[in-house]
Structure 1
Amino acid sequence: MADVVVPGSKSETNRLLVLAAAADGRTVLHRPLVADDTEACARALAALGYDIDITSSERWTVTGRPEGPAATEASVNTRDGATGARFLPGLTAAGHGVYHFDASEQMRRRPITPLLDALRTIGADIEGGTLPYTLRANGLAGGRLVVDAGVSSQYLTALLLAGPLTRTGLTLHVTQLVSAPYIDITLKLMRLFGARVERAGDVFRIEPGGYTSPGEVTVEPDASTASYFLAAAAISPGRSVTVPGLGSDSAQGDLGFARVLADMGAAVDIQARSVTVTGPDRLRGVTADLHHLSDTMPTLAAIAPLATGPVRITNVANTRVKECDRLEACAAGLRALGVPVATGEDWIEIQPAQPTAARIETQRDHRIAMAFSVLDLRVPGAVELDDPGCVIKTCPGFHGLLADLVARWEKEPVS
């Protein structure tokens, strides 16, 4: 059995950065994710005038400013990061000043207009409907909003995070929601910072009053990143992987990927603070609805050819508006490897096959690169990535971690 120490959660790290910036007091984040997305969010906060120290890889510190950004005018670039691009406008709009937001070409193509429209409704003055745009901040009034989070749960998270910073509070009625477990993460962390937020079905009520720092917070391992190492075990008969620090106590929905592997025949043991997967002789085919854990869709799609029957992944239309059209990127990569694939608007079905050598176009998407790297474990040398370095977005050390896992397995007898 091999333990894999997975880097910190991107979802937690970026939410915590925003909360710490808004809170009264100084916050220390232990084991934050140190990667391009989180560094982009941290540096954006620094550009806004927040006192933030990310020089240590083990602990980041943020001194909050409940009154809003210290800079009265700033240019903010969130690079490829969708969480930073979507979470920071609400924080900024609650302050006072003029702020120019931009991001990479990849992020400019991703949707943000519904969020900007929602912020306008509660008092933000925003010139432009897509990145780049200019925000003239003079506080947020609050009120009632109808929110469609069917494309991205990050719209809802952004508004929830802004709620305590409004003058009168915020009531949100949600009509559609994808990746719902990410909202559980948001609510858990908001309450950790003293927010008063209630949920009644599809209605969220957030009281005004701001945030108070809890002092110190330890970031959980990233469940989405863990999926690649759990999948590596699942396709390796008799081999096991344990991810410490991530288990049933976690609010991260992508831990549910381990249960999908169990449905396919892997032995799965989920404890309060760990998850272990052991590979069977061969995985079974499965139909899996990944609507609420869609970041794991590429992981499952990449290992699907090794199953004994078809693997059908459903309800993942939102994966078409991620860093790339992930559904089509997975289909194209599998077809290049000689795997029969069919797709629809919100589904992909992969047939059992022996992959042949091919070059995979990652489209600068970290999840495509990491998913197909796992498949290469069973067909060594068959998978060549056009851009292996794109993993820096969420797991800069990914290729080293995977190589180290294989090296340790080679020294151990198969169970």
Structure 2
Amino acid sequence: MTATSASTALWPAPQASGPVVARVTVPGSKSVTNRGLVLAALAAEPGWLRRPLRSRDTLLMADALRAMGVGIEETVSSSSAGTGGPGGEAWRVIPAGLHGPAAVDVGNAGTVMRFLPPVATLADGPVRFDGDPRSYERPLGAVIDALRALGARIDDDGRGALPLTVHGGGALDGGRVEIDASNSSQFVSALLLAAPRFNQGVEVRHVGRALPSLPHIRMTVDMLRSVGAQVDEPETGGEPNVWRVSPSALLGRDLTVEPDLSNAQPFLAAALVTGGRVVIPDWPERTTQPGDQLREIFTAMGGSCELTEAGLTFTGGGSVHGIDVDLSEVGELTPGIAAVAALADGPSTLRGVAHLRLHETDRLAALTKEINELGGDVTETADGLHIRPRPLHGGTFHTYDDHRMATAGAVIGLAVEGVAIENVGTTAKTLPDFPEMWTDMLSGVASRPGS
């Protein structure tokens, strides 16, 4: 299938014939996989990533690091190299001196376009960054300006956006820098991840509106500490909105990637909207992933959950309730929550997510348009959505090359006959094999990534 035909193909979203009862094994976390790849590439010794997510975004990250000289070997084993660790796919990351000239395709991956320019400052030679047309529109200027303030040379023809070239000098001074990260917490994470390799480390001061998606910064800090970095942060008594990373060598480690809890959302939503039951194996007891808040949010919307050693069991209560919720820390969950809210028995208000206008697409405008064209009643607010449930009908649900729009449309399709998802293949960005996993869930077949 050509790229053009793939982007316009329609996938008939299956309608549930009754309560969904299934066990769904969700692939690894994109956020953990891509942070793990960066930290392993900057380490002083080889490391392993076990059960990584293999998707468009993570393969773009791996290919970009390879282009700069990092060795990444992919293996599949029944156990971890004879150590008795978990089996499945594993990536061995072998650090090397970073070099240019190199060309990096970021696709439309925020983690690649933001995390790797700081890494490229450490390369010996130029590194060119380019990507999908939408990537040119996504915010990057704050990272570019911060890197220049820390001593980097970057050519972007004054755009403050892609495409651009980082002229790596083999090292970066680092030091203190101010940055307005109110459009994306990834701006802070980008500087922190490479900071241990900067000559002076880094002190990042956020100036501006409230930071969105703080759990992702906590994830970055926790992963830095796990490989030996020294980090001072607000969460542990540090100065508010200030993060300090000391220069140090990073350890190679053996990391098993958690399931992507945000990608579990459509499957949990299926249990909620059909009054069914879905089990997600290996749900961690403690995690920095924002998706863990689904347990609380979807329980408030009418479900119940139990976390055991077997994983998370989520059960729908037979009806879906509206919700008034601040999603500023978990903005990526908004499309799925909006889909469920469109099927609820009362109105919902989703707040704190103005920054979603700058994601893979303008998610607030896209959700409003697509749900309303199916008969819904959604209004954009200054920082979110107000959703008044209405009887919905079938129609085409456009995705705008946004994976979370596609899965949101599939959730609505469970309860509404005749919903067709445009370009469901865009889910490959973070959730490979989604259509097959969705079909398996509806048939009660235990779903495994890549099966």
| Bin of the TM-score, shorter chain as denominator length | over 0.9
Shift of the 374–409 alpha-carbon distance from structure 1 to 2, 3 Å rule, reads farther
**Separation of aligned partners in 1, 2:317 and 2:56:** 35
2:439 alignment counterpart? 403
Contact 1:53/1:62, CA 8 A, preserved across alignment: yes
Per-residue deviation, 1:269: 2.2
**Separation of aligned partners in 1, 2:315 and 2:263:** 17
Per-residue deviation, 1:273: 7.3
* Alignment equivalent of 1:104, drawn from 132, 155, 164: 132
* Alignment equivalent of 2:73, drawn from 46, 53, 68: 53
**Separation of aligned partners in 2, 1:296 and 1:151:** 16
**Separation of aligned partners in 2, 1:257 and 1:357:** 27
5+ residue gaps, structure 2, are 1-20, 77-87, 447-451
Cα deviation, 1:155-180, whole Å, max 9, x if unaligned, reads 00001112101101211122341100
**Separation of aligned partners in 2, 1:114 and 1:88:** 14
**Separation of aligned partners in 2, 1:35 and 1:170:** 31
**Separation of aligned partners in 2, 1:204 and 1:273:** 37
Contact 1:265/1:283, CA 8 A, preserved across alignment: yes
**Separation of aligned partners in 1, 2:287 and 2:433:** 23
**Separation of aligned partners in 1, 2:141 and 2:75:** 34
Alignment of 1:14-413 (within 5 A): 14-54=34-74, 56=76, 58-65=89-96, 68-69=97-98, 71-128=99-156, 129-138=160-169, 139-175=171-207, 176-199=210-233, 200=238, 201-214=240-253, 216-237=254-275, 239-271=276-308, 274-380=311-417, 382-408=418-444
TM-score, normalized by length of structure 2?
Answer: 0.87
1:413 alignment counterpart? none
Structure 1 counterpart of 2:261, which letter?
A
Per-residue deviation, 1:91: 1.1
Cα deviation, 1:257-315, whole Å, max 9, x if unaligned, reads 22111111211224577322111121111101111101110001112122110011111
5+ residue gaps, structure 1, are 411-415
Contact 1:248/1:273, CA 8 A, preserved across alignment: no
Contact 2:23/2:444, CA 8 A, preserved across alignment: no
Per-residue deviation, 1:96: 2.1
Specify which structure has the bigger relative contact order, considering alpha-carbon pairs within 8 angstroms and separated by 6 or more residues: 2
Per-residue deviation, 1:134: 1.1
Deviates further, 250-259 or 155-164 = 250-259
Per-residue deviation, 1:254: 1.8
Shift of the 55–44 alpha-carbon distance from structure 1 to 2, 3 Å rule, reads farther
Cα deviation, 1:24-43, whole Å, max 9, x if unaligned, reads 11111111000000001101
Cα deviation, 1:345-404, whole Å, max 9, x if unaligned, reads 211111122210110111111100011101111124x21112111111111211111111
Per-residue deviation, 1:184: 1.2
Contact 2:322/2:344, CA 8 A, preserved across alignment: yes
3-state SS, counterpart of residue 416 of structure 2: coil
Structure 1 counterpart of 2:135, which letter?
M
3-state SS, counterpart of residue 244 of structure 2: strand
3-state SS, counterpart of residue 101 of structure 1: strand
**Separation of aligned partners in 1, 2:420 and 2:222:** 40
Structure 2 counterpart of 1:290, which letter?
L
Structure 1 counterpart of 2:319, which letter?
R
**Separation of aligned partners in 2, 1:250 and 1:242:** 18
Contact 2:181/2:188, CA 8 A, preserved across alignment: yes
3-state SS, counterpart of residue 376 of structure 1: helix
**Separation of aligned partners in 2, 1:276 and 1:292:** 24
**Separation of aligned partners in 2, 1:189 and 1:274:** 23
**Separation of aligned partners in 2, 1:328 and 1:148:** 24
Structure 2 counterpart of 1:37, which letter?
D
Shift of the 348–272 alpha-carbon distance from structure 1 to 2, 3 Å rule, reads farther
Structure 2 counterpart of 1:261, which letter?
F
**Separation of aligned partners in 1, 2:292 and 2:438:** 19
Contact 1:36/1:393, CA 8 A, preserved across alignment: yes
